[in-house]
Amino acid sequence: MAPRTHRRKKVAASDYQAVLEGIAARVREQPNRGKVATYIPALARIPKTKFAMVVKCVDGREAAVGDADELFSMQSLSKVFTLVMALRQAGAGLWHRVGREPSGNRFNSLVQLEYEQGVPRNPFINAGAHVITDCIVSHDAAGKQSILNEVRRLSGNAAIQFDLEVARSEREHGHLNAAIAHFLKAHGKLRSDVDEVLDAYFHQCSIALSCRDLARAGSFLANGGIDVTTKDRITTARRAKRINALMMTCGLYDAVGSFAFRVGIPAKSGVGGGILGIIPGLLTVAVWSPGLDANGNSDAGVRALELFTTKIGRSVF
């Protein structure tokens, strides 16, 4: 007789609230939640004890726990939404300007960019994000305002704003980002003025939203490109699949292998402590906890997502 395989029973959507409450209790028991980002002073004051987690199902149902409506800085989470916008504007031609491979290096590294003649490895490292933002500002005179409007539209929250203190802090301490942008410009990879690109980039990173907003904003990526709430088509099913693939392989920088091993879903992180995760065809899950691990990802957030996919018995593998 063949050996019997043991599969974890899948959790019904109605049980997600209980799952999140159990995860929050586990997180509270953990004394070490990483270190809050200090290289952006405006982020350094946020208590690392903060925690939120929100699930948005493709059938519209939600579950939430913790500080789900408290605002935090998007930071690199914004790169998912600017990528959608740039693909809408430039189409497949965008991939002549930025690659689709994992970097294996820090998100703000200049070394790889020099080796590869100014072509960023992927759109989620800072160099690639500058090219994406350049694409937007070169096509759209409204630039940073259009990015903000996109996040408002996708989250369904018209009250979302730039955090101007964070944007100012980003600019005052963004010397490495400026170096990356000038390097790209020197290699002919930026079409707009460097200061214009940096201004839009610093502002997109400063967008303040809640964990609930984030889960809602990313819902189209779990739903074949269609917004779960409004039913609007945000992008094609093919592009949604490819954006998810890029999140899977590049969304957590040089920790993508470990995250795939532990959690097993496409995701994108930001140094504000947020992580957006996607289980295609089922749900989005957003988590926020500002303490970061050595790779710049939310320490408690990664652990919470590992518990989540384990408890519900679902991943992309």
Q: pLDDT, tens digit, for every residue of 58-106? A: 999 999 999 999 999 999 999 999 999 999 999 999 999 999 999 776 6
Give the domain ranges of the chain: 14-312
Q: Which amino acid is at 52?
A: A
- The pLDDT score that the predictor gives to residue 160 is 98
Residues 162, 203 contacting (CB under 8 angstroms): yes
What average pLDDT does the segment 230-250 reach?
A: 97
CA angle 251, 136, 190 (to 5 degrees): 85
CA dist 116 and 119 (Å) reads 6
More confident residue, 300 or 111: 300
**Where does the pLDDT of residue 253 fall: very low under 50, low under 70, confident under 90, or very high at 90 and above?**
confident
The 10s digit of each residue's pLDDT in 165-207 is 999 999 999 999 999 999 999 999 999 999 999 999 999 999 9
**Domain formed by 14-312, architecture:** 3-Layer(aba) Sandwich (3.40)
CA dist 96 and 174 (Å) reads 27
Between the CA of residue 190 and those of 67, 132, 197, 202, 294, what are the distances in Å?
A: 39, 9, 8, 16, 31
Whether the pLDDT of residue 31 is over 80: the answer is no
What average pLDDT does the segment 15-32 reach?
A: 92
The 10s digit of each residue's pLDDT in 110-154 is 777 777 778 899 999 999 999 999 999 999 999 999 999 999 999
CA dist 109 and 164 (Å) reads 26
More confident residue, 15 or 198: 198
